[in-house]
Every structure is written in C-alpha cells, then in structure tokens.
C-alpha cells in the first residue's frame, strides 16, 4: 500500500503540473519546477533538434545573394486601437491582420502579435534571445506572423509551415529618446500586473523597427517559449533599433510576473544548431582570410567578458539590493 502511494505521488504531481501548464503561465526561465531546463518534460518539442534561439555565428552563415529582401506592407501608421497586455512573461501588442510580410520565397505571412525579450537583472546582463558571434544584445523584438494559407493563427500554430517571426535587436548607447517608442513605453505603467491590458491608439511598427529592413539572417527554428513548436521561419534583421538608456531601463523595470516579481531576463538560452544552416542575404563583413577571422574572434570574446563601460543604466538601490537565487543562476548563464 505504502509503496503504491509512493509511486503515485510523483505521478499525481506530474498530472497537476501538466494541468497548470496548459494555462501557459507557470513555466519560467530560471525558477521553480518548470524552468527552461525542464520545459522538454512538459512540452516535448522544447527538446527537439531545430530549436530557437541560436547563436548566429557569422563565419558559418551562408551568404545567399539570391535571397530577396522582405516585403512589409501595412507596417506604417495604422489608425485604431491596439490591445497591449502583460501576459506574465513579457509585454505583447496585438497586431492588425492588414500587416503582412512577404518572404523571399513568396510566402505571405500575416502579423499576429509583437513582444519583447530583455535582461536587466543586474547591470551587465543583456537580454536578447539570439546572439551574434556569442554577443548578447540588450533587447530583442519579435513580430510574430502566421502563414496566410491558414485561416487563423490558431490553425497555423500547429502546422509545419505555420509561422514566421521577424526579429530585431535593440542597441543602447548615449542615444536620445526614441520617440517612436514613447507611447509604448509610457503605457507600460498601465499593465504592471499580469493579465492587465491597456490600449495603444494608433500604431507604426515600421518606425519601431531598424532603419534597414533589407539585410537579415534566416533559418528554420521554433517558438522560443513553450510549447516550442518547430514551425517558425526566422528572419533576424542585421540592423538595430536605438533606444535611450532610460527607455531600456523602463522596459526592464515596469512589469511584474505572476509572483509579483519584476519581469527581467525573459530570454531562453541559445540552442544547438545541429544540422541547420543559417543564410543571410548580405555578405558578412567579418569574413576574411583566416588570420583576420581569428582576430575578430578574440576581439568579440573580449567584448563578451567586458561589456563596454557604462553601457547600462545604473540600477536603483532597490534592485541592487535584491540579490537573489536568480542572480546566481544568471551568473552561470552569462558564460554562454
């Protein structure tokens, strides 16, 4: 009897966890029973062979001059009201279906939502999901689309050719305020708690993206959050969005998760490339003969270990004093 019970308890808790997981809110990046190392136990695709994000290693990227630029339509000023929600993991803006992206192969994708991944848990931590030559950027923007051959996002999300994400990195230096982000950032204060929604009046996603939309990296991968479905065609832009330090600080410190903890470092570790090839539609400037390539390599390593001085907003006292388990976990995580 007793041993039967003992055998049942883990089984039962697995059931309970599975049940909670279906609500999609209890997985985390670094804390609790369902941190990213345990995602595959509840979401098997997360343990697959073509996962995202990845490190974009420029010397291994295949330049494909035949790869056309992306065609974005309806990305410019849109009148109307657009819901923006704190979903406990990030801030997400619902996008109108008039926003479309045509990929190099002619596939038309319809925009669904846009969200962000950031760092902020200590002064040196950046929070992009993809890295370039091992370098993590400050923020990563994801504009999620579904293949227009499907009726809705709900149908497309399970189809093998269902999704495409347009991704971009944010760079922070001594830049002035990026006014294209002002409305978005001021609305963060309205959605401090998970489940809260606010409304953006008018939207211009084109202006929230980098100036150069032509040059990108492309590969086949997955969603970077559970259920990690392996049906995402990734387009990672080479150019950056520029935000001021204050704007980055606000994104990193405005939202709380389901445990009332500030949402920070909401990025997944990079995943093995396995047999995939990353293509780009622009030549890699870093590609030279071996000697110069080695130089670039050691340079970027040094950059990883010592981020530029003063590259981040100084932390407030309160966030500096909250040294938690998370900081320790993240300490090891930074050695990617």
Ligand X SMILES: *[C@@H]1O[C@H](CO)[C@@H](O)[C@H](O)[C@H]1NC(C)=O
Residues 226-285 that bind ligand X (CB under 6 A): 259-260
Least distance to ligand X, CB of residue 227, Å: 25
Strands 216-221 and 279-280, bridge-based pairing: antiparallel
Least distance to ligand X, CB of residue 153, Å: 29
Least distance to ligand X, CB of residue 269, Å: 26
Least distance to ligand X, CB of residue 138, Å: 28
**Phi/psi at 207 (5° precision):** -75, -15
23 binds ligand X (CB under 6 A): no
Q: How many CB atoms lie within 10 A of CB 8?
A: 10
- By CB under 6 A, how many residues form the interface with ligand X? 2
> Which two tokens mark 37?
């190392």
- 289 catalytic? Reply is no
Q: How far is CA 138 from CA 43, 207, 267, in A?
A: 28, 19, 11
Determine which one of 38, 42, 89, 325 is catalytic: 89
Q: Which is nearer to ligand X, 173 or 259 (CB)?
A: 259
Q: Which is nearer to ligand X, 4 or 260 (CB)?
A: 260
Place of tokens 């059931």: 15
What gap in Å lies between CA 27 and CA 39, rounded to an integer?
Answer: 7
What gap in Å lies between CA 241 and CA 248, rounded to an integer?
Answer: 11
Binding mask 138-157 for ligand X (x = CB under 6 A): --------------------
Cβ-proximal residue to ligand X, closest one = 260
Q: Which is nearer to ligand X, 170 or 255 (CB)?
A: 255
What gap in Å lies between CA 281 and CA 217, rounded to an integer?
Answer: 7
β strands within the chain, DSSP E: 55-56, 62-63, 71-73, 78-86, 91-94, 100-102, 108-118, 131-132, 135-136, 139-147, 163-172, 197-203, 216-221, 232-243, 279-280
Least distance to ligand X, CB of residue 196, Å: 11
Q: Where are the alpha helices (DSSP H) in the chain?
A: 2-21, 39-42, 153-156, 182-187, 205-208, 245-253, 290-305, 317-321, 325-333
Q: Which is nearer to ligand X, 179 or 260 (CB)?
A: 260
CB-CB contact of 179 with 204 (8 Å): no
Chain contacts with ligand X (rule: CB under 6 A): 259-260
For the annotated catalytic residues, the residue numbers are 89
């Amino acid at each position: 009897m007793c041993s039967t019970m003992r055998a049942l308890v883990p089984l039962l808790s697995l059931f309970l966890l599975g049940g909670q997981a279906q609500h999609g809110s209890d997985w985390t990046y670094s804390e609790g029973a369902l941190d990213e190392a345990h995602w595959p136990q509840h979401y098997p695709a997360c343990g697959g062979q073509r996962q995202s994000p990845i490190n974009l290693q420029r010397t291994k990227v295949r330049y494909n001059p035949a790869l056309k630029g992306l065609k974005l339509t309806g990305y410019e000023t849109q009148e109307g009201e657009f819901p923006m929600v704190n979903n406990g993991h990030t801030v997400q803006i619902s996008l109108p279906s008039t926003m479309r992206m045509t990929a190099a192969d002619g596939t038309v994708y319809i925009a669904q939502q846009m969200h962000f991944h950031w760092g902020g848990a200590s002064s040196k931590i950046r929070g992009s999901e993809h890295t370039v030559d091992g370098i993590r950027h400050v923020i990563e923007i994801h504009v999620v689309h579904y293949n227009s051959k499907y009726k809705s996002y709900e149908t497309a999300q399970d189809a093998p050719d269902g999704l495409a994400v347009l991704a971009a990195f944010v760079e922070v230096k001594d830049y002035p305020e990026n006014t294209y982000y002002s409305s978005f950032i001021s609305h963060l204060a309205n959605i401090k708690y998970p489940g809260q929604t606010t409304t953006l009046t008018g939207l211009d996603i084109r202006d929230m993206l980098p100036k150069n939309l032509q040059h990108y990296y492309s590969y086949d991968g997955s969603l970077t959050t559970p259920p990690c479905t392996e049906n995402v065609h990734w387009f990672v832009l080479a150019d950056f969005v520029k935000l001021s330090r204050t704007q980055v600080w606000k994104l990193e410190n405005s939202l709380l998760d389901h445990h009332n903890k500030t949402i920070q470092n909401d990025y997944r570790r990079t995943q093995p490339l396995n047999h995939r090839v990353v293509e780009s539609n622009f030549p890699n400037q870093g590609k030279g003969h071996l000697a110069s390539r080695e130089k670039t390599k050691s340079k970027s390593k040094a950059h990883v270990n010592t981020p530029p001085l003063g590259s981040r907003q100084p932390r407030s006292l309160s966030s500096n004093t909250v040294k938690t388990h998370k900081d320790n976990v993240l300490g090891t995580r930074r050695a990617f």
